[in-house]
Chain A
Amino acid sequence: MASATTPALRTQARYLAWRSVVRTMRQPIVIVPPLVFPLFLLAINASGLSAATNIPGFPDTSYLAFALAFPFIQGAIFATNTAGANVAEDIGNGFFNRLALTPMSGPSLLAGQLTGVLLIGTLQAVAFLAAGLAAGATIEAGVLGALVLFALSLAIAAAFGAIGLFAGLRTGSSEAVQGLFPLMFILLFLSSATLPRDLISSDWFRTVATINPVSYLIEGLRSLIIIGWDPEALALGFGVAAAIFVIALWAATLALRERLVRT
């Protein structure tokens, strides 16, 4: 006779993360675009916008190195989509009820999904960094800086993944989650992704980029690549990522509580 006991939260999260990773790995459509599209866009930006390096005040670096932070954020946006669509699909097809009938706790569901997102985020970060280095970019902050770059990119993936979880749990609709995708891209393009904020000539654009949290995420990542160690940029990057994560996770927890109405 099997002996069922309520497993520890980390054990539940481990099983849910395992499922999340297996699912992702078996869907090339979920893996390939988040790897290829950001690199494709990086290549276009690096070649098409290289003249921007001639603008007085532009950092003394190649445009490739300047833009290398871009794919990390773009990859994180894909994480939003993956996390949200997975949970929405589970709600739509009833798998969520199957999970709800086990001793699974709400936090373990969130942690499991986010762990899956982080594993994919790691894969992306390795690919983006390797591609950047292969194309001639260098990491000014050195090897330790590369590790911090990984850490920040994972924090950003977790923050965006939590937004996806909230959207998926709140709406229960994959389509609604997909609808977030263009909105996130608009946020990315209205940030300091393509130019330093002080070189944006249009006032409205500079104002939007300044209040846009994505700018600080990009600048944190970018500082390690083109500056070296910039405590302020890193603190803002990690701080904004943590703030988004906490708020999105709180919202996701509330949405989960509403969704998981079991007694």
Chain B
Amino acid sequence: MDASNGIEAEGLVRQFKEVRAVDGIDLEVSPGEIYGFLGPNGAGKSTTVHMLTTLLPPTAGRASVGGHDIIREGAAVRDVIGVALQDAALDLLLTGREHMKLQGGLHGLSSDEIAKRGDALLERVGLGEAADRRVRTYSGGMKRRLDLALALIHSPRLLFLDEPTTGLDVQSRAALWDEVSGLAHRDGVTVFLTTQYLEEADALADRVGIIHRGQLVAEGTPAALKDQIGRPTLEAVPADSAEAERLEAVLSRFGDPLPVSNGSAAVRLSDGTEELADVVRGLDSEGIKVADLQVHAPTLDDVFLTKTGRSLEGAREEHDVEADTGEHATEQVTA
């Protein structure tokens, strides 16, 4: 593993007219690490990837990828990185094998190397049998896997994956996670992965950075981030919906109320699960019957909620509304 396989960024900014899509991001990704960049649509994830992969010059700040400055040494950066962007941009008229030939050829591989490595990669991502079919006949999952194989044709030391599993079924997603995990932990490839899926960041990333409105609001291992939140949440559903307010009043004695939407009440327990018995006794003494009572360990969504004041899901919906009304320019400007 090469010590210069990391990523460093300082004060990275990208401004699109009035909109600051990326607003002063500092990053440090270690060689061989899987770094999950988590945030809703429009948070600035793709813009950051476009800058780090040299497709978009930053407005301010600096960054180096694989030991090369992204502004002054763009060609050297491109030599050491593999990239699968948000949309698997493929030529529907070419076959999988022909994509390998084109990509390998443009990277300067010999015909023998292209054939050997191309075939091996196509097999590895499960496209061996479909290699000679035109891409227009591929499913979404097959296109994503081909995209990954293409990103690897020139044996890059760093891999950028921009929402690689968006739109994939559970099985395809799991297969891609396995492959990415193997690349990092077996082959020592540094992986910078953007995602809006909490479970993806949780399952795959060694460290997670949470981006919100162009700023990095939290960073650490998934476990450390959850530990920062520390306290579990308790959610209860009243047996009689008319009791919802009383239920909330009782629960609020044991922690900070949390927003919920389905007629239930939730709190972040002040003293952890040790209070659970007290909560049940409190409800019993008030005569409130509950239909359901659940304790949740902290998740990355809780981290997101704590750091940004809204859940990831809520932030996604907010972005969708903004996108619909055209009030907020997004990273898609760069697409």
Contacts and interface: CB of A to CB of B under 8 A. Distances in A.
B113 to A, nearest CB: 5
B71 interface: yes
Interface string B75-97: 10111010101010111011000
A240 B268 CA distance: 78
Interface stretch (B3-11, B100-108, B223-231, B240-248): B100-108
Interface in A92-108: 93-104
Nearest to A96: B89
* Residue among A7, A93, A97 with max Cβ neighbours from chain B (10 Å): A97
Nearest to B87: A94
A167 to B, nearest CB: 21
A103 B108 contact: yes
B47 to A, nearest CB: 13
B228 to A, nearest CB: 36
Contact of A97 (B89, B91, B105, B117): B89
A95 B107 contact: no
Contact of A11 (B75, B98, B105): B105
Interface string A25-41: 01100000000000000
B299 interface: no
Given A2-B154, A22-B94, A22-B98, A97 B106 contact: no
A3 B109 contact: yes
Contact of A95 (B70, B90, B117): B90
A54 interface: no
Contacts of A23: 91, 93-94
Interface stretch (B53-61, B165-173, B198-206): B53-61
B315 interface: no
A149 to B, nearest CB: 32
Interface string A70-92: 00000000000000000000000
A95 B89 contact: yes
B220 interface: no
Contact of B113 (A3, A18, A99, A104): A3
B234 interface: no
* Residue among A4, A23, A94, A104 with max Cβ neighbours from chain B (10 Å): A4
Given A26-B134, A98-B150, A102-B78, 17 more contacts: A2-B117, A5-B108, A6-B108, A12-B105, A15-B101, A16-B102, A19-B91, A19-B98, A94-B85, A97-B89, A98-B103, A101-B83, A103-B106, A103-B108, A262-B74, A263-B54, A263-B70
Interface of A: 1-7, 11-12, 14-16, 18-19, 22-23, 26-27, 93-104, 261-263
24 contacts: A2-B104, A2-B154, A2-B155, A3-B113, A7-B106, A14-B105, A15-B102, A15-B106, A16-B106, A18-B102, A19-B94, A22-B93, A22-B94, A23-B94, A93-B89, A94-B87, A94-B89, A98-B89, A98-B103, A101-B53, A101-B55, A101-B78, A263-B71, A263-B74
